[in-house]
Amino acid sequence: MMKKMISMGYLRIQRILFCISIVVLLGWLVAICHCYILQEGYAQEQNQSSTIIDDKSFRVAYLTDGLFSDAGWGAFAYNAGQEIISKYGYEVTFLDNVSISNIETTLKDYAEGDYDIIIAQGYEWGDSVIQIAKKYPDIKFIVFTGLVKSENVASIFPKQQEATYLLGALAGMLSKNHTIGFIGGDEKYPNLKRMYEGYKQGALDVNFTTRVLVTYLDDWDNESKGKAAALSQIEQGADFILHVADTAGQGVIHAAKEKGIYAFGAVSDQNKLAPDTVVTSFVMDPVKAYDYVFKMIRMNNFTGMIYTPGLESTKNSTTEDGILYIAPFHGFENKIPKDIQDKFLKLSQDIRNKKIIVSE
């Protein structure tokens, strides 16, 4: 009798354990199916968000109020457009020398012209782009040196003051008169003021006795005004001058050459304009200028934003997000003392590593 009861109890336990095993197994199966469904959904979502658009038929309009022939700001526009053609294979139409009063009309004309992307180079274009973009939601607009954004408008506003900081520091270390100059086109542009402040900060950080002269021309295209402003600063003792004045800046370089002092170029490497006068230049990298925004377009996830890239260590650096670099010293390589060049490189590293914060 006792053995029979034990046997029945044992069978009951086995049944219970079997039922528990079935429940656990079913639970595992449900969990596995749930995970699989989630993974499939996530994979589909990832595939949708990372779909690469490789449409060579994209049409791009590149518009600017600058001059392609100015060897600086306008030349950068043309070179950047050529890089877009080379890198992405898109059709690019160029238009320069657009008058400020015609910006809105020009934008509307090109928006009606069946373009997929419109690049407007120049701070003045920002407000008009916002207005026109509302009426053409299927077009992507990019404002270079802009501070505007919306659903289909992105801006790129480079930290050019990081580059001019370095030129100010170099001038401060090299100036024999402890007096340097800055000549800008139009004071109302916020990026221009930042460039001046960066230049001054760099000079004073290396030599607090440096005097920094500043002149705004209220003009970007008049070489005579640029030259007259430079001659005035030279008379006041400036032996290094940075211009950020587009075509008018060429007059600054001519004056520096004529008087035997030194100049810095802007936006493009301008050493070729006066090889014995232009020590170096700050350069905006046309190869990388639009990479970030065009990657968003190609990945089909364009979002309105203001992108603020800063320094890179060398031209077209593939390991850094910056789009600004300092041009070679060319013929001045062996004329600038090694300790000053080493200090210059250290300052550049400190800016990129955020050890030096250039005021905005």
- 275's enclosing H/E stretch is none
Cα separation, 341 vs 328, whole angstroms: 11
pLDDT digits (tens, 9 = 90+) for 195-249: 999 999 999 999 999 999 999 999 999 999 999 999 999 999 999 999 999 999 9
Q: Is the pLDDT of residue 21 over 70?
A: no
Tell which residue, 266, 224, 251, 307, has the closest CA to residue 74. 266
For each of the domains in the chain, give its residue range(s) and CATH number, in order of start.
Answer: 54-156+285-321 (3.40.50.2300), 160-284+329-352 (3.40.50.2300)
Q: What token pair was written down for 58?
A: 């994209």
Q: Are 76 and 94 in contact (CB under 8 A)?
A: no
Q: Among 50-54, 74-78, 90-94, 235-239, whose mean pLDDT is lowest?
A: 50-54
Residue type, 250: Q
How far is residue 57's CA from residue 80's CA, in Å, rounded to a whole number? 19
Least confident of 94-98, 180-184, 252-256, 296-300: 296-300
Q: Are the beta carbons of 132 and 107 closer than 8 angstroms?
A: yes
pLDDT digits (tens, 9 = 90+) for 95-113: 999 999 999 999 999 999 9
Beta-carbon contacts of residue 250 (< 8 Å; ≥ 6 apart): 70, 71, 223, 226, 273
Query: Which segments of the chain are extended strands (E)?
Result: 59-64, 91-95, 117-121, 140-144, 153-156, 179-184, 211-216, 240-244, 262-267, 278-284, 306-307, 324-326
CA 205, 208, 209, 214 dihedral sign is positive
Quick: pLDDT tens for 125-165.
Answer: 999 999 999 999 999 999 999 999 999 999 999 999 999 99
Average pLDDT over residues 295-309: 91
Provide the percentage of residues in the chain whose pLDDT is more than 70.
Answer: 84
Q: What's the whole-model pTM score?
A: 0.83
With a cut of 90, say whether residue 1 has pLDDT above it. Answer: no
Please compute the mean of the pLDDT values over residues 88-99 and round it to a whole number: 95
Residue 95: C-alpha distances to residues 60, 164, 171, 281 (Å)? 11, 28, 36, 26
State phi, psi for 285 to the nearest 5 degrees. -75, 105
Judged by DSSP in three states, 52 sits in coil
d(CA 59, CA 334): 46
Other beta carbons within 10 Å of 298: 16
* Lookup result for tokens 């001054």: 200
From residue 275, alpha-carbon distances to 202, 265, 271, 279 in Å are 24, 11, 5, 8
Question: What is the mean predicted confidence (pLDDT) over 186-190?
Answer: 90
Q: Which two tokens stand for residue 190?
A: 């916020």
What length does the chain have? 360
pLDDT at res. 136: 97
